[in-house]
Amino acid sequence: MCAKRILLIVGGLYHDFEGFAGAMRLLLEGAGHSLDATYDLDLLTQLDRSDYDLVMSYTSLSPHREGEEDTTPETLTDDQVRNLSHWVETGGGLLAVHSATVSAIPNVPMRRLMGGVFVSHPPQFTFMVYPMHQRHPITEGVEAFAVTDEFYIQDYDESDCIHMVAFDRGVAYPMVWTREQGHGRIAYVAMGHGPDVWRQPPYQRLILQSVTWLTSH
């Protein structure tokens, strides 16, 4: 596996961004990649002048509740999304994880890029995540596994290729999907609220294989 240079953007509300960055650094650098984690979302406007192979997003950019004193961005700016989209279309890879789709609620271009948008989630509970019958390089060797996590219910684009699903009250929801845009690739993994998920071997395999697929074309 060729070493890749990865930019991880983090920030927003309600999530352990430092914890995720630390877990991903341990995983990805252990596999030979390099990882730069940042809260500086303006680095997305400089991608064309960088040597990154992949952008990874673990953000939860959300409208602030009334009375909250918070200076975190509520979504990505037009310039940030425009430059990220152009970078992907010209051959870059984007791995969006868990709450990254929250930033697409007020941001239609970001929703188009990621292929979906967060709608809601019930309180955390334990559920199974199942691979689809037709396997894909990012799910190769990943069998069904249980997570105690936020169960993300999302609107997603019908052009997304769904690779893993989970069930809630008899309804299947997509948990992992991929899509292509121009010459680039996008993958989304819905699971990942906390360390109990990040440490699971099937989850780690899913992340590593996503990195490989996103950067191998």
* pLDDT for 32 beyond 90: yes
For the chain, the domains span 5-214
User: Which residues face 181 on adjacent strands?
Assistant: 184
> Model confidence over 117-156: pLDDT tens digits?
999 999 999 999 999 999 899 999 999 999 999 999 999 9
* pLDDT for 217 beyond 90: no
* pLDDT for 56 beyond 70: yes
Written as one letter, the residue type at 164 is M
Q: 3-state DSSP: the chain helix, strand, coil percent, rounded to 5?
A: 30, 35, 35
* pLDDT for 9 beyond 70: yes
Superfamily of chain region 5-214: Class I glutamine amidotransferase (GATase) domain (3.40.50.880)
CA atoms of 195 and 23, how far apart (whole Å): 8
End-to-end CA distance of the chain: 13
- pLDDT at residue 33 in the model: 98
User: What does each C-alpha distance from 171 to 123, 145, 165, 201 come to in angstroms?
Assistant: 17, 18, 10, 26
104: left (phi over 0), alpha (psi -120 to 50) or beta: alpha
- pLDDT at residue 183 in the model: 98
Please, are residues 95 and 45 in contact by the beta-carbon 8 Å criterion? no
> Model confidence over 63-119: pLDDT tens digits?
776 666 667 888 999 999 999 999 999 999 999 999 999 999 999 999 999 999 999
For 89-118, give one letter per residue: b (16+ CB within 10 A) or e.
eeebbbbbbbbbbbbbbebeebbbbbbbbb
